[in-house]
Amino acid sequence: MYNMLQHMHSGLRWIVLLLLVMAVFSAFSKMKQNKTAYTSGDKKLFFYNLIGAHIQTLIGLILYFISPKVQFGEGMMKVTELRFFAVEHISLMLIAIILITIGYSKSKKQEAPGKYKTLFIFNLIALILILISIPWPFRGLGTGWF
Ligand code: HEM
Ligand code: HEM
């Protein structure tokens, strides 16, 4: 169970990142072009982006309770890897996902092109936070690329 969820969470990062990058670029270009139409393609992209982020969060939250990388105890805050997973990763990721959700929800009540501006700003900040808080292999946290 743990192994399966860990692999899912690790692999799903790429899908979440791809959708998020596509969402940011698409929202930006449509905002710049002052597009007044919201196509079914846009609708799908921002919807899948939200669902991908929500599924990743759910898996992450389950992992938080079963992962050996999340441990509490005296001195754990001084150990980089333990502090990263117990505190840093979950806090920044939660903020990022909440931003994606607020952006999506807020944009639903708006018309294009204002809609695209909201989607662009919220998804861009979320993308930056997610890139910062992914435990990339080069950060020495004992993680891999997939
Ligand atoms: C940690 C668990 C989760 C939390 C706290 C959460 C929270 C939320 C919130 C607050 C919204 C409302 C957004 C709005 O105002 O439209 C929402 C919408 C949604 N979430 Fe999640 N979610 C979670 C997990 C999931 C999972 C696992 C899935 C998919 C299997 C999912 C799919 C959706 C969908 C389809 C919507 C509706 C989007 C729409 O309104 O068109 N969520 N979620
Ligand atoms: C609130 C949301 C999240 C929580 C609670 C969470 C929790 C966790 C936990 C507990 C681990 C350690 C798992 C292990 O034992 O290896 C982990 C690893 C990881 N998380 Fe998250 N996560 C969240 C969101 C995300 C998001 C949004 C992404 C990327 C899009 C992400 C990417 C990763 C990656 C790449 C790993 C390393 C997996 C590995 O190779 O071991 N997480 N996360």
Looking from the CA of residue 70, the nearest atom of ligand 2 is 10
Tell me if 101 CB under 6 Å of ligand 1. Answer: yes
In the reported structure, the alpha carbon of residue 93 is separated from the centroid of ligand 2 by a whole-number distance in angstroms of 9
Give residue 46's pLDDT.
98
28 lines ligand 2 (CB under 6 A): no
- pTM to 2 decimals? 0.93
Residues in contact with 9: Cβ distance below 8 Å, sequence separation at least 6, in sequence order: 56, 59, 60, 63
Integer Cα distance of 100 and 91 in angstroms:
15
What distance, in Å, lies between the first and last C-alpha atoms of the chain?
17
User: Which atom of ligand 2 is closest in space to residue 68's alpha carbon?
Assistant: 15
Please check whether residue 30 is in contact with residue 112, taking contact to mean a CB–CB distance below 8 angstroms.
Answer: yes
pLDDT tens series, the chain, 146 aa:
999 999 999 999 999 999 999 999 999 999 999 989 999 999 999 999 999 999 999 999 999 999 999 999 999 999 999 999 999 999 999 999 999 999 999 999 999 899 999 999 999 999 999 999 999 999 999 999 99
Q: Distance between CA 102 and CA 104 in Å, rounded?
A: 5
Please report the pLDDT score of residue 10 as a whole number.
97
The H or E element containing residue 7 is: helix 2-32
